[in-house]
Structure 1
Amino acid sequence: MGAKSRQTHASQSHGYHRCVVAVLLILLGIPVLATLLYSLSQHWGATVLPDGLTLDWYWALLHEPRFLSAFGHSLLVALATLVLATLLVVPAAFVVFYYFPRLDRAMNLLILLQFAVPPVVSSVGLLQLYADGPLPLAGTPWILVGCYFTIVLPFIYRALASGLQGMQVRDLMDAAHLLGASTTVAFLRVILPNLRKGLMAALFLSFSFLLGEFVFANMLVGGRFETLNVYLYTMRSTSGHFTSAVVMTYFLFTLIVTWIATRLSR
C-alpha cells in the first residue's frame, strides 16, 4: 500500500507540474499567436477569427526601404558592439584571472554599476557629455556602440569568468610555457578554445538583447540613425497589420538567434 500510495502521489505531482507548464505556455503563446494571426489577416474586425489570410503585409515589409535600412542599422551596431566587446573583454578577463586574480571581485562590482543607473539618466548624461566638444558623437552610431558595450559587458565578462574559474588557468599556462609556447600563443591555442562555447553563447544572447534595445537608441540617435525598434515606434500609428508583421519578423529573428545560443551553450 505504501508503494502504491507513493506512486499515486508522484503521478498527481507530475500531473500538477504539467498543468502549470501548460498554463504558462498558453499565457505566453496567446499574445504571440494573436500577433501572428493579425499580421496574416486581411481584415479582423468584430469577428473571433480574421476574415482572410494573406502575406501581403510581409511582402510590403520586405519591400520597404526604411525597414531594411533600420534593420541593417540594428545589425551593424550590434555586430560592431560585439566585436569591440570581444577584442577588449576577452584579453581583460584573461589578464585578471592569470595575473591579478584578486581583482575579480572588483570587476564584478564594476560591471554591475551600470544597473544602478536608469537608462534614461545615462542617456541624458551621455548627451550632455558628447553633444559638444572635441568628440561630438551625439546622433552618431558611435555613441550607440560605446553605450551598448557597457550593456553587454556584464554578460560577456561573467560568461568568461565562469569558464576561467572552471579551468586551472595558471597550471595550463605553466604547462604551455614548459613546452616552449609564449604567453600569447598559450592564450590563443590553449585558453581561448576552452572559452569558445561560453563566449559564443554570451555573444548570441547579447546580440538578441541589443536588437531589442529601445531607450538608448531613441534618445541618443533617434531618427538620425534609425534602428529597428525606433522604426517600430515611429510606425505605431500606421496599419496594425503592418506593425504586427514587423514585430513577428523581429521575434522570429530573435528566436533563431536565441536557439543558436542555446545550442552552443550545450
Structure 2
Amino acid sequence: MPNKRATSLADEGLWIHKLVLIAVAALLALPIIATFIYSIATQWGATVLPDGLTLKWYLQLWQDPRFLQAFGRSLIICLGTLVLSTFVMLPMTFVVFYRFPRLKPLMDLVIIMPFAIPPVVSSVGLLQLFADEPFALVGTPWILLGTYFIIAVPFMYRALANSLQGIGLHDLMDAAHLLGASTTKAFLLIIVPNIRKGLLVSLLVSFSFLMGEFVLANILVGTRYETLQIYLYNMRHTSGHFTSALVMSYFIFTLLLTWVATRLSRQGDTV
C-alpha cells in the first residue's frame, strides 16, 4: 500500500508539472499565434476572428526592394560580427583558461560592462568619438560592426567559458601533448570540437540579439544604413498587418536558422 500510494503521488505530481509546462508554453505561444493570424488577415476589427485570410501582406513585404536591402544589410552586419567575434573570442577565451587562469575574475568583470552602460549613453559617446575625422565612422556599417562586436562579447565569452570548464581542458591538452600534438593543433582538433555546442549556442543567441537591436543602429547610422529594425520602425505608420508580416518573417527566419544549426550539430555528433 505505501508503494502504491507513493506511486500515485508521484504520478499526480508529474501531471501537475506537465500542466504547468503546457500552461507556460501556451502563454508564450499566444502572442506569436495572434501576430501570425493578424499578418494573414484581410481585416480584424471588432470581431473575435478576422473577416478573411490573405497572403498579400507577405507578398507585398517580400516584393519591397527596400525591405530586401534592409534585411540583407542586417544579415551582413550580424554575420560579420559573428565571424569577427569567433576569431577573436574563441582563442582569447582558450588562452585565458589555459595559460592565464588568474585573469578569469577580471574577464568576468569586463564582460559585464556592455550591459552596465545603457545603449543611449554609449551611443552618445561613440557619436562624439567617431563623428569627425580622422575616424568619421558614424553613418557607416563599420561603426555598427564594432559596436555589435562589443555586444556579442558577453554572450560569446560566457558560453565558451562554461564549455571549457566542463571538458577538463588541462587534461585534454596534457594528453594531446603526450601524443606529440602542438598546442595549436590540440586546440583546433580537440578543444574546438569538444566545445562546438557551446560555440553554436553563443552564435545563435548573439545573432538573435543583434538582429533585434535598434537603439544603437538608429542613433549611429539611422536611415543612412537602414537595417531591418530601422525599417520596421520607419514602417510603423503603415498597415499593422504589414508590420505583423514583417515580425513573423523575422521570427520564422530565426526559427529556421536555429533548426538548421541544431541539425548540423547532431550530424556532427553522429560523425
Asked whether the two chains share a fold, i.e. TM above 0.5, the reply is: yes
Aligned to 1:64: 64
Q: Deviations over 1:15-57 (max 9, x none)?
A: 3323322322222222211111111111222221111111111
1:109 Cα deviation from its structure 2 partner = 1.1
Aligned to 1:6: 6
Tell me the C-alpha RMSD between the 2 structures: 2.0
Q: Distance in 1 between matches of 2:110 and 2:143?
A: 20
Aligned to 2:30: 30
1:110 aligns with 2:110: yes
| Unaligned stretches of 5+ residues in structure 1 | none
1:40 aligns with 2:40: yes
Taking a change above 3 Å as real, the CA distance of residues 19 and 156 of structure 1, as seen in their structure-2 partners, is: same
Query: Aligned partner of 1:97: which letter?
Result: F
1:262 Cα deviation from its structure 2 partner = 5.4
Taking a change above 3 Å as real, the CA distance of residues 17 and 185 of structure 1, as seen in their structure-2 partners, is: closer
Q: Deviations over 1:217-265 (max 9, x none)?
A: 1111111111111111110100111111001101111222334455649
Counterparts of 1:8-157 in structure 2, within 5 Å, are 8-157=8-157
Which stretch of the first structure deviates more once superposed, 195-204 or 240-249?
195-204
Query: Aligned partner of 1:25: which letter?
Result: A
Q: Distance in 2 between matches of 1:184 and 1:14?
A: 49
Counterparts of 1:224-235 in structure 2, within 5 Å, are 224-235=224-235
Q: Deviations over 1:129-187 (max 9, x none)?
A: 11113111111111111111111111111222122222333343343334333322222
Query: Aligned partner of 2:194: which letter?
Result: N
Aligned to 1:243: 243
Question: TM-score, with normalisation over the residues of structure 1?
Answer: 0.92
- Secondary structure in structure 1 of the residue aligned to 2:111: helix
| Identity across the alignment (%) | 61
- Secondary structure in structure 2 of the residue aligned to 1:181: coil
Q: Distance in 2 between matches of 1:22 and 1:234?
A: 37
Q: Distance in 1 between matches of 2:111 and 2:26?
A: 36
The 8 Å contact of residues 89 and 153 in structure 1, kept in 2 or not, is answered as yes
| Unaligned stretches of 5+ residues in structure 2 | none
1:4 Cα deviation from its structure 2 partner = 4.0
Q: Distance in 1 between matches of 2:257 and 2:125?
A: 32
Aligned to 1:163: 163
Q: Distance in 1 between matches of 2:50 and 2:104?
A: 56
Q: Distance in 1 between matches of 2:41 and 2:80?
A: 37
> How many pairs were matched up?
266
Taking a change above 3 Å as real, the CA distance of residues 95 and 256 of structure 1, as seen in their structure-2 partners, is: same
Which stretch of the first structure deviates more once superposed, 204-213 or 2-11?
2-11
Q: Distance in 1 between matches of 2:49 and 2:35?
A: 12
The 8 Å contact of residues 42 and 53 in structure 1, kept in 2 or not, is answered as yes
The 8 Å contact of residues 36 and 244 in structure 1, kept in 2 or not, is answered as yes
Q: Distance in 1 between matches of 2:178 and 2:28?
A: 55
Q: Deviations over 1:176-232 (max 9, x none)?
A: 334333322222222222222221221122112211111111111111111111111
